[in-house]
Chains A and B, each alone.
Chain A
């Protein structure tokens, strides 16, 4: 298809995903294979654009123009010079967000985000679908959680968003490192959990496991879980038990299982593996093994 289009539009460009800084004198589209293709607007009539939009998804590259505040932060991160640093009044944290590509107009996203906080928060865009929100630590009684923000935006903007929430920082020292580590971590954590809002505290075990070299990782999974490594049903039971803070009643309720059957299943696991999942350090080992398996 792309070759055929190129015969018609000589200016046609193709990028794989993740390409930033797309030329704004071009019209951009996403193909079914997730390639981004662009055609010089000079070469297109409005009829062409409508026609292309019937089988390609138009791709919106308009990022909001950065505010002074946003430029200041960006500069502090990117520049090694200490002159780039500025005074900050409160502690702050970075919150990474990622939206499914092409589900949203960044300007609309910005408008909605601003309404959720007491004053407009700086947003540093990485590209059209991910970036960092900078939130000052304040004590507003009517502030809302990122779990809520995720659900509000899902209803209002029809987008699924992941948030990764960083720790609070009191100064701009090492801000570049903070920024890069946060983005790196954010790109990894969502492999290990299907939660859509994850904090840096939740993420510690994920990041540890992610650091381990793959051979050892798969070895941990195998040696700990032994013959259960492919027993999805038992592993699901154990995972739920861990998520329910080792509480039998709660786990039985969530799994809709009888207490006794649950006890029995855990006892069997103990007999076969020697691991007593009711004890903290055994539970922790199994938890890491489950993560290692993912």
Chain B
């Protein structure tokens, strides 16, 4: 049982590089929390402060209710997996898993108990006498996880553990790690720059940028209700489209293109004084439609789009086009074939769209 609490955590590296700024978060017991954001936003720094590998410049860190700012890493009851994680090349699987415990002077029979248990969980029982070079990529990764499991720790910390794997193995290992988490229920903090990984694995995710938390929430929550332009654009692939225009009574206007804004949205935009102002419309590629039925029902959110590129992805086609000289991307069903060079009707589902303040880039709600 361990929950984590970070209160106004800050990290300043020597000189005055502030990498993490005022980071406050409660991580619940048994949670699989993912820190996600572009490179350099402070994910690893945050994780290493939790681990104790990096000093905390300001704020308080609690693990299981106990303040641990000054507790050395080895006494924090954590287990860690990192990106360049490898196995000891000259040891067999059993000893690879046992070694960390040997270094910490565990008794032989305790080590055996733990290694056998981890091997069972990971399906490695038949491989215990193999050397790393006789293992497949997936098996090696499982041994790496096994080395963390035998620690029997309260908290797992993982920093981009799958980044060095090829795409196929990465997908396989995502599932493996999730399965493991369901079984062990160990509180986990997982760092990745890959939003797909974050979306598929997290019970909750924390989107970071420039050392600040941008948003915390369940994947679907963050996807459906992004706090700001950055989060909207970062989470989701292809990314959310952002169109600059002006709000008029009942319409979002880009020069000669007018798109009807539903009354539900118009109401709060009007109340907050956005009528007559420049504003950003955010709409996800899948909320732009080409099905005849949808087009028929949406005469006033319909535009003529000349398709620049059409990428067939199997069941879907990704269309690249422009409206009012601004790029946008639509993801439509491949039933209706569309090719580059054609001009087609597309309609925006404004009920699912968002508006953002032009200055602050915050979502208007």
Contact = CB atoms under 8 A, between A and B. Distances in A.
A116 interface: yes
B100 A156 contact: yes
B15 interface: yes
Given A154-B53, A155-B148, A254 B89 contact: no
Interface string B318-331: 00000000000000
A104 B131 CA distance: 28
A23 to B, nearest CB: 24
B91 A151 contact: no
B83 interface: yes
A88 interface: no
B48 interface: yes
A108 B86 contact: no
A255 interface: yes
A141 interface: yes
B103 A158 contact: no
A152 B87 CA distance: 8
A98 to B, nearest CB: 14
Contacts of A154: 53, 80, 82
Nearest to B14: A191
A148 B81 contact: no
Interface centre among B13, B86, B100 (most CB of A within 10 A): B86
Interface centre among A111, A156, A294 (most CB of B within 10 A): A156
B86 A152 contact: yes
Interface in A230-247: 236, 240
B74 A158 contact: yes
Contacts of B89: 116, 140, 142-144
B51 interface: yes
B48 A155 contact: no
A155 B82 contact: yes
A103 B73 contact: yes
Contact of B85 (A103, A143, A151): A151
B80 A155 contact: yes
- Interface residues on chain A, size class: 35 or more
Nearest to B82: A151
Contacts of B90: 115, 118, 142
A159 B85 CA distance: 14
A74 interface: no
B274 interface: no
Interface string B138-176: 000000000110000000000000000000000000000
Interface in B88-116: 88-91, 99-100, 103
Interface string A241-268: 0000000000000111000000000000
B99 A156 contact: yes
A118 B90 CA distance: 7
Interface string A104-147: 00001001100110100000000000000000000011111101
A181 interface: no
Contacts of B39: 240, 254-255
Contacts of A240: 39-40
Given A158-B53, A160-B53, A294-B15, A116 B88 contact: yes
B38 A155 contact: no
A263 to B, nearest CB: 14
Nearest to B195: A256
B219 interface: no
Contacts of A112: 99, 103
A96 B53 CA distance: 20
A158 B73 contact: yes
Contact of A155 (B13, B15, B81): B81
A160 B54 contact: yes
List of 8 A-B pairs having minimum Cβ-Cβ separation, nearest first: A158-B73, A148-B86, A256-B38, A151-B82, A142-B89, A151-B84, A158-B74, A147-B84
16 contacts: A115-B99, A116-B89, A142-B90, A147-B84, A151-B86, A152-B85, A154-B82, A155-B79, A155-B80, A155-B85, A155-B147, A156-B103, A158-B74, A194-B13, A254-B39, A255-B39
Given A57-B72, A116-B88, 7 more contacts: A103-B73, A115-B88, A142-B90, A142-B132, A148-B84, A156-B147, A158-B51
